[in-house]
Protein backbone atom coordinates (compact mmCIF):
# COMPACT_ATOMS: atom_id res chain seq x y z
CA UNK A 1 0.00 0.00 0.00
CA UNK A 2 1.47 3.36 -0.99
CA UNK A 3 1.25 6.45 1.22
CA UNK A 4 2.50 9.73 -0.16
CA UNK A 5 2.24 11.94 2.92
CA UNK A 6 5.46 12.88 4.71
CA UNK A 7 3.84 13.56 8.06
CA UNK A 8 5.52 12.03 11.12
CA UNK A 9 4.43 8.44 11.63
CA UNK A 10 2.13 7.91 14.58
CA UNK A 11 2.47 5.13 17.05
CA UNK A 12 0.87 4.35 20.33
CA UNK A 13 0.77 1.91 23.14
CA UNK A 14 -2.85 0.81 23.27
CA UNK A 15 -2.28 -0.45 26.80
CA UNK A 16 -2.57 2.10 29.63
CA UNK A 17 -1.19 1.49 33.12
CA UNK A 18 -4.08 -0.78 34.10
CA UNK A 19 -3.67 -3.03 31.08
CA UNK A 20 -4.03 -6.35 32.81
CA UNK A 21 -7.07 -5.18 34.73
CA UNK A 22 -8.60 -4.32 31.35
CA UNK A 23 -7.70 -7.74 30.02
CA UNK A 24 -9.38 -9.34 33.01
CA UNK A 25 -12.46 -7.23 32.37
CA UNK A 26 -12.51 -8.25 28.72
CA UNK A 27 -12.09 -11.87 29.74
CA UNK A 28 -15.20 -11.68 31.84
CA UNK A 29 -17.41 -9.56 29.62
CA UNK A 30 -18.19 -12.28 27.10
CA UNK A 31 -21.55 -13.75 27.96
CA UNK A 32 -21.67 -16.74 25.63
CA UNK A 33 -18.65 -18.63 24.22
CA UNK A 34 -18.44 -18.32 20.47
CA UNK A 35 -16.02 -18.44 17.59
CA UNK A 36 -14.53 -15.30 16.10
CA UNK A 37 -17.30 -14.17 13.79
CA UNK A 38 -18.15 -11.54 11.25
CA UNK A 39 -21.52 -10.06 10.30
CA UNK A 40 -23.80 -12.46 8.46
CA UNK A 41 -23.84 -10.02 5.55
CA UNK A 42 -20.23 -10.86 4.65
CA UNK A 43 -18.56 -14.18 3.79
CA UNK A 44 -17.41 -16.06 6.88
CA UNK A 45 -13.70 -16.70 7.58
CA UNK A 46 -11.74 -19.62 6.20
CA UNK A 47 -10.82 -22.04 8.99
CA UNK A 48 -8.44 -24.94 9.42
CA UNK A 49 -7.29 -26.87 12.47
CA UNK A 50 -3.85 -28.03 13.58
CA UNK A 51 -2.03 -28.92 16.76
CA UNK A 52 0.64 -26.80 18.42
CA UNK A 53 2.53 -28.74 21.10
CA UNK A 54 -0.54 -30.92 21.60
CA UNK A 55 -2.93 -27.96 21.72
CA UNK A 56 -5.82 -27.81 19.24
CA UNK A 57 -5.55 -24.50 17.37
CA UNK A 58 -7.91 -23.23 14.69
CA UNK A 59 -6.53 -20.92 12.01
CA UNK A 60 -9.03 -18.18 11.11
CA UNK A 61 -8.46 -16.06 7.99
CA UNK A 62 -10.60 -13.42 6.31
CA UNK A 63 -10.07 -10.45 4.03
CA UNK A 64 -12.64 -7.97 2.76
CA UNK A 65 -13.26 -4.47 1.49
CA UNK A 66 -16.14 -2.15 2.24
CA UNK A 67 -19.34 -3.56 0.70
CA UNK A 68 -20.46 -1.69 -2.41
CA UNK A 69 -17.21 0.27 -2.68
CA UNK A 70 -15.41 0.57 -6.01
CA UNK A 71 -11.85 1.69 -6.71
CA UNK A 72 -9.67 2.37 -3.67
CA UNK A 73 -11.62 0.95 -0.74
CA UNK A 74 -11.18 0.50 3.02
CA UNK A 75 -9.72 -2.92 3.82
CA UNK A 76 -9.76 -5.33 6.75
CA UNK A 77 -7.60 -8.43 6.91
CA UNK A 78 -7.76 -11.01 9.71
CA UNK A 79 -5.23 -13.79 10.34
CA UNK A 80 -6.12 -15.06 13.78
CA UNK A 81 -6.47 -18.16 15.92
CA UNK A 82 -9.22 -19.87 17.86
CA UNK A 83 -9.17 -22.68 20.38
CA UNK A 84 -11.87 -25.32 19.82
CA UNK A 85 -11.42 -26.69 23.33
CA UNK A 86 -11.13 -23.31 25.11
CA UNK A 87 -14.05 -21.16 23.98
CA UNK A 88 -13.35 -18.48 26.58
CA UNK A 89 -9.83 -17.96 25.22
CA UNK A 90 -11.11 -17.76 21.64
CA UNK A 91 -13.53 -15.06 22.68
CA UNK A 92 -10.87 -13.18 24.63
CA UNK A 93 -8.62 -13.04 21.56
CA UNK A 94 -11.54 -11.59 19.59
CA UNK A 95 -12.23 -8.94 22.24
CA UNK A 96 -8.63 -7.86 22.75
CA UNK A 97 -7.85 -7.61 19.02
CA UNK A 98 -10.85 -5.31 18.60
CA UNK A 99 -9.82 -3.25 21.62
CA UNK A 100 -6.30 -2.77 20.27
CA UNK A 101 -7.54 -0.51 17.46
CA UNK A 102 -7.63 3.27 17.76
CA UNK A 103 -4.86 5.78 18.40
CA UNK A 104 -6.02 6.91 21.85
CA UNK A 105 -5.83 4.17 24.50
CA UNK A 106 -8.08 6.13 26.87
CA UNK A 107 -10.91 6.70 24.41
CA UNK A 108 -13.80 4.22 24.76
CA UNK A 109 -14.38 1.92 21.80
CA UNK A 110 -17.93 1.72 20.42
CA UNK A 111 -17.31 -1.96 19.66
CA UNK A 112 -16.17 -5.03 21.57
CA UNK A 113 -15.63 -7.70 18.92
CA UNK A 114 -14.11 -7.98 15.47
CA UNK A 115 -17.60 -8.31 14.04
CA UNK A 116 -18.66 -5.01 15.65
CA UNK A 117 -15.39 -3.36 14.64
CA UNK A 118 -15.97 -4.36 11.02
CA UNK A 119 -19.35 -2.60 10.95
CA UNK A 120 -17.89 0.49 12.65
CA UNK A 121 -14.93 0.58 10.25
CA UNK A 122 -17.10 0.41 7.12
CA UNK A 123 -19.07 3.40 8.41
CA UNK A 124 -16.10 5.58 9.40
CA UNK A 125 -13.07 4.62 7.28
CA UNK A 126 -11.64 6.78 4.53
CA UNK A 127 -10.88 5.30 1.13
CA UNK A 128 -7.29 4.19 1.84
CA UNK A 129 -7.73 3.14 5.47
CA UNK A 130 -6.81 -0.45 6.28
CA UNK A 131 -6.68 -2.54 9.45
CA UNK A 132 -4.75 -5.79 9.77
CA UNK A 133 -5.35 -8.20 12.65
CA UNK A 134 -3.04 -11.07 13.53
CA UNK A 135 -2.97 -13.55 16.39
CA UNK A 136 -0.63 -16.51 16.80
CA UNK A 137 0.52 -18.95 19.45
CA UNK A 138 4.14 -18.17 20.40
CA UNK A 139 4.59 -20.79 23.09
CA UNK A 140 2.87 -23.64 24.90
CA UNK A 141 4.00 -25.11 28.22
CA UNK A 142 2.22 -27.28 30.76
CA UNK A 143 1.07 -24.13 32.59
CA UNK A 144 0.79 -21.41 29.93
CA UNK A 145 -0.52 -20.76 26.43
CA UNK A 146 1.31 -17.64 25.22
CA UNK A 147 -0.40 -15.73 22.41
CA UNK A 148 0.82 -12.74 20.42
CA UNK A 149 -1.86 -10.29 19.26
CA UNK A 150 -1.01 -7.68 16.67
CA UNK A 151 -2.88 -4.89 14.94
CA UNK A 152 -1.57 -2.58 12.24
CA UNK A 153 -3.62 0.38 11.07
CA UNK A 154 -2.95 2.40 7.94
CA UNK A 155 -4.73 5.73 7.93
CA UNK A 156 -5.31 7.68 4.72
CA UNK A 157 -2.49 10.22 4.31
CA UNK A 158 -0.19 8.69 6.93
CA UNK A 159 3.37 7.80 5.98
CA UNK A 160 3.48 4.61 8.02
CA UNK A 161 1.21 2.14 9.71
CA UNK A 162 0.36 2.29 13.41
CA UNK A 163 1.40 -1.04 14.94
CA UNK A 164 0.51 -2.48 18.32
CA UNK A 165 1.39 -5.84 19.83
CA UNK A 166 0.17 -7.41 23.05
CA UNK A 167 1.04 -10.76 24.61
CA UNK A 168 -1.50 -12.83 26.51
CA UNK A 169 -0.39 -15.54 28.94
CA UNK A 170 -3.31 -17.90 29.51
CA UNK A 171 -3.11 -20.02 32.65
CA UNK A 172 -4.35 -23.41 31.55
CA UNK A 173 -5.23 -24.67 35.06
CA UNK A 174 -7.08 -21.48 36.10
CA UNK A 175 -8.59 -20.36 32.77
CA UNK A 176 -7.44 -16.77 33.15
CA UNK A 177 -4.82 -14.28 32.00
CA UNK A 178 -1.62 -14.12 34.06
CA UNK A 179 -0.31 -10.67 35.02
CA UNK A 180 3.41 -9.98 35.30
CA UNK A 181 3.46 -9.40 39.05
CA UNK A 182 1.46 -12.61 39.52
CA UNK A 183 4.17 -14.50 37.64
CA UNK A 184 6.97 -13.04 39.79
CA UNK A 185 7.99 -14.04 43.28
CA UNK A 186 6.94 -11.50 45.95
CA UNK A 187 8.98 -8.28 45.93
CA UNK A 188 10.96 -9.37 42.87
CA UNK A 189 9.85 -6.76 40.35
CA UNK A 190 13.18 -4.91 40.63
CA UNK A 191 15.02 -8.17 39.96
CA UNK A 192 12.88 -8.65 36.84
CA UNK A 193 13.85 -5.17 35.64
CA UNK A 194 17.52 -6.00 36.23
CA UNK A 195 17.19 -9.17 34.14
CA UNK A 196 15.43 -7.18 31.43
CA UNK A 197 18.21 -4.61 31.48
CA UNK A 198 20.78 -7.38 30.94
CA UNK A 199 18.75 -8.73 28.02
CA UNK A 200 18.63 -5.20 26.60
CA UNK A 201 22.43 -4.94 26.78
CA UNK A 202 22.72 -8.21 24.88
CA UNK A 203 20.25 -6.93 22.29
CA UNK A 204 22.32 -3.76 21.83
CA UNK A 205 25.36 -5.84 20.86
CA UNK A 206 23.38 -7.02 17.81
CA UNK A 207 21.98 -3.57 16.97
CA UNK A 208 24.02 -1.97 14.18
CA UNK A 209 22.73 1.55 14.96
CA UNK A 210 23.77 1.20 18.60
CA UNK A 211 27.20 -0.20 17.74
CA UNK A 212 28.03 2.78 15.52
CA UNK A 213 27.70 5.30 18.36
CA UNK A 214 26.69 3.68 21.68
CA UNK A 215 26.61 6.94 23.68
CA UNK A 216 24.43 8.77 21.17
CA UNK A 217 22.11 5.79 20.82
CA UNK A 218 21.70 5.46 24.57
CA UNK A 219 20.87 9.15 24.84
CA UNK A 220 18.28 8.97 22.07
CA UNK A 221 16.90 5.50 22.87
CA UNK A 222 17.56 4.71 26.55
CA UNK A 223 16.50 1.50 28.26
CA UNK A 224 12.86 1.34 29.30
CA UNK A 225 10.88 -1.14 31.33
CA UNK A 226 8.10 -3.17 29.67
CA UNK A 227 5.52 -5.53 31.18
CA UNK A 228 4.40 -6.90 27.80
CA UNK A 229 5.71 -10.45 28.26
CA UNK A 230 5.18 -13.99 27.02
CA UNK A 231 6.27 -17.16 28.81
CA UNK A 232 7.55 -19.56 26.16
CA UNK A 233 9.58 -22.80 26.31
CA UNK A 234 12.69 -20.81 25.34
CA UNK A 235 12.35 -18.04 27.94
CA UNK A 236 10.44 -14.87 28.68
CA UNK A 237 9.84 -12.73 25.60
CA UNK A 238 9.36 -9.02 26.26
CA UNK A 239 7.93 -6.79 23.54
CA UNK A 240 8.32 -3.01 23.10
CA UNK A 241 6.28 -0.51 21.11
CA UNK A 242 7.74 1.06 17.99
CA UNK A 243 9.67 4.26 18.84
CA UNK A 244 10.26 3.12 22.44
CA UNK A 245 13.85 1.82 22.56
CA UNK A 246 14.68 2.02 18.86
CA UNK A 247 13.80 3.98 15.68
CA UNK A 248 10.69 3.05 13.70
CA UNK A 249 12.84 1.08 11.26
CA UNK A 250 13.47 -1.50 14.02
CA UNK A 251 9.77 -2.24 14.29
CA UNK A 252 8.62 -3.44 17.72
CA UNK A 253 11.77 -4.69 19.48
CA UNK A 254 11.61 -8.02 21.29
CA UNK A 255 13.99 -9.15 24.04
CA UNK A 256 14.45 -12.70 25.32
CA UNK A 257 15.28 -13.35 28.97
CA UNK A 258 16.48 -16.95 29.46
CA UNK A 259 14.89 -18.74 32.40
CA UNK A 260 18.38 -19.16 33.86
CA UNK A 261 18.33 -15.38 34.41
CA UNK A 262 14.98 -15.56 36.22
CA UNK A 263 15.64 -18.15 38.91
CA UNK A 264 14.51 -16.70 42.22
CA UNK A 265 12.63 -13.98 40.31
CA UNK A 266 9.97 -15.90 38.40
CA UNK A 267 7.73 -18.24 40.35
CA UNK A 268 9.12 -21.77 39.85
CA UNK A 269 5.87 -23.21 38.50
CA UNK A 270 6.22 -20.91 35.45
CA UNK A 271 9.74 -22.10 34.62
CA UNK A 272 9.15 -25.07 32.29
CA UNK A 273 11.01 -28.29 32.81
CA UNK A 274 13.15 -29.56 29.94
CA UNK A 275 10.84 -30.15 27.01
CA UNK A 276 8.21 -27.63 28.22
Q: Which residue has the higher pLDDT, 33 or 273?
A: 273
What's residue 102's pLDDT? 76
Q: Which residue has the higher pLDDT, 29 or 111?
A: 111
Cα(271)–Cα(224) distance, rounded to whole angstroms?
24
Q: How much is the average pLDDT of 8-13? A: 38
What's residue 107's pLDDT? 77
Cα(147)–Cα(168) distance, rounded to whole angstroms?
5
Burial 23-45 (b: 16+ CB within 10 A, else e): beebbeebeeeebbebeeeeeeb
What's residue 84's pLDDT? 92
Cα(134)–Cα(100) distance, rounded to whole angstroms?
11
Q: Which residue has the higher pLDDT, 10 or 135?
A: 135
What's residue 159's pLDDT? 76
Which band of pLDDT confidence, cut at 50, 70 and 90, is reported for residue 49?
confident
Q: Each residue of 220-232: pLDDT tens digit? A: 889 999 999 999 9
Could you tell me the pTM of the whole model? 0.83
Q: How much is the average pLDDT of 65-89? A: 93
Q: How much is the average pLDDT of 120-127? A: 93
Q: Is the pLDDT of residue 246 over 50?
A: yes
Q: Is the pLDDT of residue 211 over 70?
A: yes
| Mean pLDDT for all residues in the chain | 83
Is 142:76 a contact under the CB 8 Å cutoff?
no
What's residue 130's pLDDT? 96
What's residue 39's pLDDT? 54
Q: How much is the average pLDDT of 145-157? A: 93
Is 176:27 a contact under the CB 8 Å cutoff?
yes
Q: Is the pLDDT of residue 200 over 80?
A: yes
Which band of pLDDT confidence, cut at 50, 70 and 90, is reported for residue 126?
very high
Residue 173: CB atoms within 10 A of its CB come to 9
Is 185:262 a contact under the CB 8 Å cutoff?
no
Amino acid sequence: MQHTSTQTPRTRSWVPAGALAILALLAGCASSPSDISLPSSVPQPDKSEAQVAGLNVQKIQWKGTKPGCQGQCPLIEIDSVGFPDIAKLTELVDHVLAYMTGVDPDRPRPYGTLSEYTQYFWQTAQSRDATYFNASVVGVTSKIIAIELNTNQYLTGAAHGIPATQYLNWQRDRSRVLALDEALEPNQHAAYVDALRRAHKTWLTQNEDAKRDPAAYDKMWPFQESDNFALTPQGMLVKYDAYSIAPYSHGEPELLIPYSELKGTLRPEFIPAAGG
